[in-house]
């Protein structure tokens, strides 16, 4: 015990003598050579130095110092007359005057910051200016708190919520990185619509969900992250469901969007956007493997890595193709290639779209995404122009593509019926209603009924037989 105390005392002495040495080396000569603190930059103008020291010294007193960051500063009157190595609070504490440098610092949450300091206010960077005021950028953010509150207060029939994955992004970034489907060209938009023989709409139920009709065959919404490639996600999702339904569950592949993103290069830009007609061309002529075989990794990759195609196929007759490369995922050996037939365009008629979904499975649709859609949480979405009074930078839209998996109707408290589509998005399962959303039906809301696509998987009896065994063996 005593020994310990003595050790501590020795240590304290050592520390003291070291401090004395340091003070001696910081002599007056150094003081005169050093640049004035207030010119090289006072980094702590509000700190307590002379005050903490317990006072100021008259005239010149080389011992009248206080540690200041990695050097020392003075609290004697001399410092003002010569090179001004005065402590930051010298003027206010010792002279009772304002310091000779401008108060270029800004206040935030009771703390002081220097000019040039920055912080991020949602999506906008704020910088402490020379005038002592924060200057913030003026971008529209993807998540605007007052928009969320306004939507929830006014009751548009849907609820809005904050999403941490969108927080801090600008609206422009959201539109540029979270969508990614080029609006079909006029020629494609004018593509013939399939003629359907409808006998009225007598046998169309008021509610229908593909997930209920085909359990285990409808794939869960994926998350495209900040990869601007809904063109690949919606196409792969619709093809996955259609192949599973058509093969009666003998094959239930979740097709790989990454395979399309990295390998479908004809007029396509991977995570910088693409076209759904091009995606369907690729699915038909080249085919893609499963998500398990070729997992989505664009979120963690550089554009050059994303652009490297890791899957190759070759023709094996009658248009069928076979993989000639191993899966990019070394844990997966199942590099079966899945293909589709040519896609077909449906009319914009609500009942024809319903019939198609009920008979053949989910369809693909383009959709104009407006600023408010990002904060959708639940309910029946209708574009709510809550930002109508704000500058145009707050009111923007761009083209997206989604999968429609069903429909329904719901009465509100006034007894009015609201019809909706069920859409599957590609923003992960924590967005919306478990990754899905409902949107007003029959009014071409956000152009959801303007360009609707159906497709057949390329499924032969042989495929069904083979895959059946395949699964059998794995068990
Ligand atoms: C301190 O320096 C300022 C600026 O050079 C001068 O105006 C002021 O008179 C000085 N004060 C003292 C007490 O020397
Ligand atoms: C939204 O979420 C982010 C991250 O989770 C959080 O920092 C932010 O304060 C939230 N914004 C609002 C308006 O609630
Ligand atoms: C996202 O995709 C769309 C549609 O292809 C394209 O117009 C846009 O430029 C893309 N944005 C970025 C940042 O690549």
116 lines ligand 2 (CB under 6 A): no
Residues with Cβ within 8 Å of 379's Cβ and at least 6 positions away in sequence, in order, are 156, 157, 158, 159, 438
Closest protein CA for atom 14 of ligand 2: 162
pLDDT, residue 23, reads: 43
297-321: pLDDT as tens digits: 987 888 888 889 999 999 998 888 9
Helix (H) or strand (E) holding 426: none
Task: Give DSSP secondary structure letters for 84-127.
Answer: --B-TTHIIIII-S--SS---EEEETTEEEETT-EEEETTEEEE
- Does the reported pTM lie above 0.85? no
What is the three-class DSSP state of 474? Answer: helix
What is the three-class DSSP state of 285? Answer: helix
Tokens 């000569």 belong to which residue? 29
Residue 137: phi and psi, rounded to 5, are: -65, 165
Q: Are 328 and 294 in contact (CB under 8 A)?
A: yes
Closest protein CA for atom 14 of ligand 3: 272
182 lines ligand 3 (CB under 6 A): yes
pLDDT, residue 98, reads: 77
Closest protein CA for atom 6 of ligand 3: 273
pLDDT, residue 101, reads: 66
Residue range 147-464 in CATH 2.30.30.40: no
Q: Are 308 and 262 in contact (CB under 8 A)?
A: yes
Give me ligand 2 centre to Cα 146, in Å.
12
Q: Which residue has the higher pLDDT, 73 or 447?
A: 447
CA distance 61 to 339: 87
**Percent of the chain clearing pLDDT 90 (strictly above):** 63
Using alpha carbons, select from 178, 165, 169, 179 the residue that is nearest to residue 141. Answer: 169
Closest protein CA for atom 4 of ligand 3: 182
pLDDT-based confidence at 350, cuts 50/70/90? Answer: very high
pLDDT value at 443 more than 80: yes
What is the three-class DSSP state of 11? Answer: helix
Average pLDDT over residues 414-441: 97
pLDDT, residue 20, reads: 40
Which parts of 131-271 are beta strand (E)? 134-136, 158-160, 208-209
Q: Give the mean pLDDT of the chain.
A: 86
Choosing from 38, 219, 370, 400, the catalytic residue is 400
Structure token digits, residue 318: 């009658």
Give me ligand 3 centre to Cα 180, in Å.
5
Helices (H), 247-275: 257-263
**Which residue among 38, 58, 81, 86 has the greatest number of ligand 1 atoms within 8 angstroms of its CB, and so is best to mutate?**
81
DSSP state of 289: -
The ligand minimizing its distance to the Cα of 176 is 3
Structure token digits, residue 199: 């006998």
Residue 159: phi and psi, rounded to 5, are: -105, 150
pLDDT-based confidence at 45, cuts 50/70/90? Answer: low
Provide the terminal-to-terminal Cα distance of the chain, rounded to the nearest Å.
70
Choosing from 228, 259, 335, 425, the catalytic residue is 425
Interior/surface letters 135-171, b for 16+ CB within 10 angstroms, e for the rest: eeeebbbbbbeebbebbeeeebbbebeebebbeebbb
- Domain spans, the chain: 45-101, 106-136, 147-464
Using alpha carbons, select from 223, 229, 217 the residue that is nearest to residue 260. Answer: 229
Give me ligand 2 centre to Cα 168, in Å.
9
Candidate from 28-42, 125-139, 371-385, 461-475 with smallest mean pLDDT? 461-475
Active site residue 425: yes
Residues with Cβ within 8 Å of 320's Cβ and at least 6 positions away in sequence, in order, are 339, 458
Using alpha carbons, select from 61, 2, 6, 66 the residue that is nearest to residue 37. Answer: 66
Q: How many CA atoms lie within 13 A of 315 on its CB side?
A: 5
């Amino acid at each position: 015990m005593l020994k310990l105390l003595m050790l501590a005392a020795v240590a304290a002495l050592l520390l003291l003598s070291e401090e004395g040495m340091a003070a001696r080396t910081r002599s007056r000569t150094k003081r005169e050579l050093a640049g004035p603190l207030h010119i090289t930059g006072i980094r702590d103008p509000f700190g307590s130095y002379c005050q903490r020291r317990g006072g100021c010294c008259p005239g010149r007193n080389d011992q009248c110092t206080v540690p200041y960051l990695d050097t020392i500063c003075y609290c004697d009157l001399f410092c003002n007359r010569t090179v001004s190595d005065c402590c930051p609070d010298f003027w206010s504490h010792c002279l009772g005057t304002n310091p000779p440098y401008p108060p270029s610092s800004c206040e935030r949450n009771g703390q002081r910051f220097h000019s040039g300091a920055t912080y991020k206010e949602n999506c906008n960077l704020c910088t402490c200016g020379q005038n002592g005021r924060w200057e913030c950028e003026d971008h529209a953010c993807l998540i605007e708190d007052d928009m969320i509150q306004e939507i929830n207060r006014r009751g548009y029939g849907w609820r809005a919520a904050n999403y941490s994955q969108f927080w801090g992004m600008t609206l422009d970034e959201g539109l540029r990185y979270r969508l990614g489907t080029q609006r079909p060209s006029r020629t494609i938009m004018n593509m013939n619509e399939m003629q359907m023989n409808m006998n009225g709409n007598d046998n169309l139920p008021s509610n229908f969900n593909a997930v209920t009709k085909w359990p285990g065959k409808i794939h869960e919404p994926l998350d495209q992250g900040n990869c601007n490639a809904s063109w690949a996600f919606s196409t792969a999702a619709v093809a996955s469901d259609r192949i599973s339904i058509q093969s009666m569950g003998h094959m239930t592949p979740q097709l790989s969007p990454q395979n399309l993103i990295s390998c479908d290069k004809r007029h396509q830009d991977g995570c910088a956007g693409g076209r759904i007609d091009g995606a369907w061309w690729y699915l038909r002529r080249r085919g893609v493997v499963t998500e398990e075989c070729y997992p989505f990794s664009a979120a963690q990759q550089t554009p050059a890595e994303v652009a490297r195609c890791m899957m190759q196929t070759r023709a094996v007759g009658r248009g069928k193709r076979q993989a000639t490369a191993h899966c990019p995922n070394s844990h997966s050996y199942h590099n079966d290639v899945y293909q589709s037939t040519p896609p077909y365009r449906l009319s914009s008629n609500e009942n024809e779209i319903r019939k198609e979904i009920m008979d053949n499975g989910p369809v693909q649709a383009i959709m104009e995404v407006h600023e408010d859609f990002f904060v959708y949480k639940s309910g029946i979405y209708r574009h709510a122009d809550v930002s109508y009074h704000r500058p145009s930078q707050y009111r923007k839209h761009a083209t997206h593509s989604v999968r429609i998996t069903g429909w329904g109707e719901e009465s509100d408290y006034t007894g009015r019926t609201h019809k909706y589509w069920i859409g599957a998005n590609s923003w992960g399962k924590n967005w919306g209603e478990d990754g899905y959303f409902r949107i007003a039906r029959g009014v071409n809301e956000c152009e959801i009924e303007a360009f609707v696509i159906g497709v057949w998987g390329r499924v032969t009896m042989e495929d069904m037989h083979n895959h059946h065994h395949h699964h059998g063996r794995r068990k």
